[in-house]
């Protein structure tokens, strides 16, 4: 049987924001209102962290803004390492988080956000396994971005985060183009739909079995959405 990778040398970086009304899920708030969008965001985070915990994955919270550590600890506790996001834009922040993880001894690192509360743990397992054969793994999102990216330490290149038009429909394709120029062949994970709008939220409710993302589904029911 093949040797199993050392799980102590792998981790998941979860990028999130301190939940402040009007500053998280602003596109979703146009359809639900800012108070419900805030509640949904908190439950997206709860479902994401619960999924990772159930899989036994070492998880690191990368929070924003960088002065919000105490508030983030008050929200999520101190069970997870808390790292501030550092950098001028999203690309710099992601590159810095990967660099820190690899500098601290990790060999396989995944980075994800919290807009995909129904993501199965099997996708995380697949992503880590793929890094035994590929330098990079990436999960395309329906909107043209990506919901997860991961590197083996031997294949990490910060260039993949430079000159990317973030929050546009070309993020995924431009990232693939950079990887190709660098001679890096990625493993492609299943395409997934993140939740940015009311339409995405309706699709989530229509597509998922009742057991998926229980905190998010309970929040939707409590808010009286789609009833």
Domains of the chain: 9-221 (3.90.550.10)
Pick from 1-5, 72-76, 127-131, 202-206: least confident: 1-5
Q: Which helix (H) or strand (E) holds 188?
A: strand 186-188
Per residue in 105-164, pLDDT (tens digit) is 999 999 999 999 999 999 999 999 999 999 999 999 999 999 999 999 999 999 999 999
CA distances from 95 to 90, 104, 211 (A): 9, 14, 34
């Amino acid at each position: 049987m093949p040797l199993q990778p050392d799980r102590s040398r792998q981790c998941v970086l979860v990028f999130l924001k301190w939940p402040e009304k009007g500053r998280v899920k602003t596109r979703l708030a146009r359809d639900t209102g800012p108070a419900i969008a805030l509640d949904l965001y908190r439950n997206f985070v709860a479902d994401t962290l619960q999924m990772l915990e159930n899989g036994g994955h070492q998880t690191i919270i990368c929070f924003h803004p960088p002065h919000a550590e105490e508030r983030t600890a008050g929200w999520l506790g101190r069970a997870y390492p808390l790292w501030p996001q550092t950098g001028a834009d999203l690309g710099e922040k992601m590159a810095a988080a990967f660099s820190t993880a690899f500098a601290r001894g990790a060999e396989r690192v995944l980075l994800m956000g919290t807009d995909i509360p129904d993501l199965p743990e099997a996708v995380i397992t697949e992503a880590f396994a793929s890094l035994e054969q590929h330098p990079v793994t990436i999960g395309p999102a329906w909107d043209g971005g990506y919901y997860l990216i991961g590197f083996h330490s031997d294949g990490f290149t910060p260039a993949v985060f430079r000159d990317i038009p973030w929050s546009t429909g070309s993020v995924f394709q431009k990232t693939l183009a950079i990887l190709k120029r660098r001679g890096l062949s990625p493993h492609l994970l299943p395409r997934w739909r993140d939740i940015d709008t009311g339409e995405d939220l309706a699709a989530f409710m229509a597509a998922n079995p009742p057991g998926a993302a229980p905190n998010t589904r309970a929040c939707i029911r409590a808010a009286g959405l789609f009833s």
